[in-house]
Structure 1
Amino acid sequence: MKDFFMGESSPGMIDWTTMPTYNTIMSIAAGAGLVALVLFARDLLRHHTEGPVSTDGWALTFGSLGVILTLTGLHMSFTWPLAAGGFAFDNIIFGETSLGFGVLMSALAIFLAKRGDRIVASPAPLAEVARAARPLGIFIAGLGLALLAIMVAGIVYQLFAAPPQEPISGAFADWPLVEAIFMSLLFGLVGLGAVLAPLAIRSFARVSPSHGAVTTLAVPTIAKVVGALWFVAGIVFILFGAMNFYTHIGLIVNTM
């Protein structure tokens, strides 16, 4: 992050006892959650052609990811700033968005744990889930707008740039706009998908159980767009978070 060195008396050195950061695991959990949502919807669509969906398995998946994001997001949201060296904007960008996503995934996990049998027994299981999720569309769209706002702020204020002491990402320290654009567009992809998600949910919720199972051929275009946006962004978040386990360790070693 570009402000890791704010307030430091010795340039290039950081007191890591006052600079906690864990957006590494948050990035992987958020990316895995996005990918999991797409794969879960696909499983529900193919429920009648490829075998029953394991709602218990998906409940465990969303519950595990939800706990990680809820706890880390809650702590980051309540601790201002999380790190004494500055960059309180991270509390908003990573903390609040992770908290919102974590609570949504936790709620989905509880719903699947309680209603799994009913969902699997439905002739249109995705429609069953979509009807329950429709009221959440308001909050999902709101989070999407927030992510789009983060995208704009990231480019305007050139956030997300790594210091030169950080491996790999630090190579672009002299061009802060490079990582600012990369990360901002990544947030923008997720945000656009979230803004469109209520429309996709509504289209699936309208399917009548009497019409039988929804097939992959019946997937609305809007749902395909949301799925593509979240799947691509999720994979990138996973890879970027995994890479940051190396780059952040390297930054700590280089600035101790």
Structure 2
Amino acid sequence: MRLIIFNTLMGVCAGTALLLVPRFWAAVRGERPPFLLLGNQPVSPSGWAATFGILGVVLTSLGFVTTVWHPSAPAKDYIDTIFGEPTLLLGVILLAAAWYLGRRPDDEELDPAALRAVLTPVSWVVFWLGVILVWCTLAIIRFNVVGSAPREEPITGLLHDWPMVENLFFALVLYAPAAIGCLLFPAAVRGRGRAAWLVLYWSWTIAGLGFALFSAMNFYTHTGMFINIGTDGADYRW
């Protein structure tokens, strides 16, 4: 069985986007929430446009391929929908953000009120992405969609006999917090109560770190898995 797996790069980019979007909004509003990690640099529309554009191109292209061609089907023919389609929608949203910001000169200060007006209709696209992620979360839990890593995969393969560990990690640490942030996005954009904004900020921070760190680790674990499968006698467990 040969697999074409690029959910590693998709996960890192999706996690990075979840980390950066609320921090961009905080920077525009002049807020300094904990774990901001942006320093005191002024907001550069072209810099953020380039950043969102890079992430948007990767997520849109790989999300499209995953949605249409189902490269992971030899392993699990149903998992590409959970991975690919939300990624595709996120990528398109980021490309739209990059296009909007790219049209602004760097010496133009972004007005939070004007940006709020722009984001109000977009917020409902993000909201329905949240609805999709809620059902993805429920599907992961109900149907054990992610399951466990193969025994041949280093690190995560050590939990092969406990499939619910990785399954619940995907559901409760990655997908559920991402869904919560998306569902709260319209309220946070409208500025109705600071609670919605803070919950969105921390839920996307948790999900973003989880996606980015886990997917980055998979560059190592997937490499070891392919070596274990394709090389006689290789048995890398770590």
TM-score w.r.t. the length of structure 1 is: 0.81
Counterparts in 2 of 1:116 and 1:188: CA distance versus 1, 3 Å: farther
Question: Of 48, 59, 80, which aligns to 1:58?
Answer: 48
The counterpart of 1:97, out of the listed 78, 82, 86, is 86
> Judging changes above 3 Å, is the alpha-carbon distance between structure 1 residues 95 and 51 closer, same or farther for their aligned structure 2 residues?
closer
Change (3 A) 1:85 1:229: same
Matched, 1:76 2:50: no
In the other structure, the counterpart of 2:202 is 228
Task: Decide whether the 8 Å contact of 2:8 with 2:215 is kept in 1.
Answer: yes
> Match for 2:97 among 92, 101, 108?
108
Question: Hey, what does 1:153 align to over in structure 2?
Answer: 139
Given that 2:73 and 2:79 are in contact with CA atoms closer than 8 Å, whether structure 1 keeps it comes out as: no
Instruction: List aligned pairs for 1:5-16, cutoff 5 A.
Output: 15-16=1-2
> Number of aligned pairs?
220
Retained in 1: the 8 A contact 2:127–2:184?
A: yes
- In the other structure, the counterpart of 1:237 is 211
Residue 200 (structure 1) aligns with: 188
Instruction: Between 38-47 and 58-67, report the one with greater CA deviation.
Output: 38-47
Q: Map Cα deviations across residues 25-60 of structure 1 (whole Å, 9 max, x no partner).
A: 00100011111102211210128xx56311111001
Partner of 1:6: none
Superposition deviation, residue 86 in structure 1:
4.1
Pick from 12, 19, 23 the counterpart of residue 7 of structure 2. Answer: 23
TM-score normalized by the length of structure 2: 0.87
Unaligned stretches of 5+ residues in structure 1:
1-14, 205-218
1:143 aligns to 2:96 (yes or no): no
Q: Which residue of 2 aligns with 1:169?
A: 156
Give the residue type in structure 2 aligned to 1:175: W
Whole-angstrom CA distance in 2 between matches of 1:87 and 1:25? 19
Identity %: 35
- Greater RCO, CA 8 A, separation 6+: 1
Query: Is 1:131 aligned to 2:117, yes or no?
Result: yes
Alignment CA distance shift 1:112-1:247 (3 Å): same
Q: Where in structure 2 are there 5+ consecutive unaligned residues?
A: 32-39, 231-238
4+ residue segments displaced more than 3 Å: 115-118
Is 1:45 the equivalent of 2:29?
yes
SS of 1:166's partner is coil
Residue 57 of structure 2 aligns with which residue? 67
CA RMSD of aligned residues (A): 1.8
Distance in 2 between residues matched to 1:178 and 1:86, nearest whole Å = 19
